[in-house]
Amino acid sequence: MGTELARSNVVHQVAETSGKVGLSVVHPASKQELLRLAVVLRNAGRLFCRGNPELEDVFKGSIDRFSEIAWTLRDAHRVLDVGAGHGLLLAFLTEIGHECHALDVADQPKAHPDTYNKGVVFHSCNVEADPIPYPDDTFDAVVCCQVLEHFTHSHLPAMKEIRRVLRPGGIVEVDVPNAASFRNRSRMLRGKHITYDYEEHYLYAQPILYKGMSFFPRRHNREFTREDLNILLRAAGFRDIDVRFLKSRRFREGMERIKVIGTAIKDLVPSLRKSLIAFAYK
């Protein structure tokens, strides 16, 4: 009862601010308020069509991270998502008042019409080889979520392009798998590899050819350490770099909540957490 009342209060506050289920561009909500609002929006079918098993799982696994990103980008009006994928983050950011743009190598609006059908501007773009199709200083923020580990070539040209399209003082968010995570260490100790199935994704993998270059995007080509991410952002010219170990907070409901205890135990040592998240400024 208390939880439903809190959710109702968040929606009421938001409705007073903007006249719809959404926030003003510079929104005052805390991360926890944003998380509660995300649940309300999901339940109302505003983020995606309920019953889609892929997006239901993405929501549970990612909405805590998305709420942290949304809170950090609370002053950013125009946002670009590089490697936007399923578009769930953009659906959420659009609902809370941001102007959202997306890049991906695949036709994601066709694959995920319900998340992109919110005025998100989409461009097909391989950021490993193509310039980002926007002028200098266009965006207040750029996000790049769980993308860089799929790059076949150097990450630096793409990060320099991201910096180029950010306005002075704009913020970039990057999150990637932590190569030194407990999960990876445990797998290696058990004689398993940390990456994808060897036969399917490496031994017999066929490259995608584009602009005379070969790409292997359907696998992890390199996971990151905290220092790797610092090095990349510094080399691309960013300042005030903050790289953190991201807690593995999955949204759980009902009896699933008991599993939170195991996740919390695994997250006790920050350097063993599953992912890294970084924020930096132009």
Q: Tell me if 131 sits within 8 A of 165, measured CB to CB.
A: no
pLDDT at 58: 96
What is the DSSP-derived secondary structure letter of residue 129?
A: T
pLDDT at 18: 39
Q: Tell me if 245 sits within 8 A of 273, measured CB to CB.
A: yes
Fold of 65-281: Rossmann fold (3.40.50)
248/181 Cα distance (integer angstroms): 11
pLDDT at 22: 41
Determine how β-strand 208-210 pairs with β-strand 213-215. Answer: antiparallel
Domain coordinates in residue numbering, the chain: 65-281
Give tens-digit pLDDT for 125-138. Answer: 999 999 999 999 99
111/95 Cα distance (integer angstroms): 20
pLDDT at 27: 66
Q: Tell me if 239 sits within 8 A of 246, measured CB to CB.
A: no
| pLDDT tens-digit profile, the chain (282 residues) | 333 433 444 444 444 433 344 444 446 678 999 999 999 999 999 999 999 999 999 999 999 999 999 999 999 999 999 999 999 999 999 999 999 999 999 999 999 999 998 889 999 999 999 999 999 999 999 999 999 999 999 999 999 999 999 999 999 999 999 999 999 999 999 999 999 999 999 999 999 999 999 999 999 999 999 999 999 999 999 999 999 999 888 888 876 767 667 677 778 899 999 999 999 999
20/150 Cα distance (integer angstroms): 38
In this structure, what are the phi and psi dihedrals at residue 14, rounded to the nearest 5 degrees? -65, -45
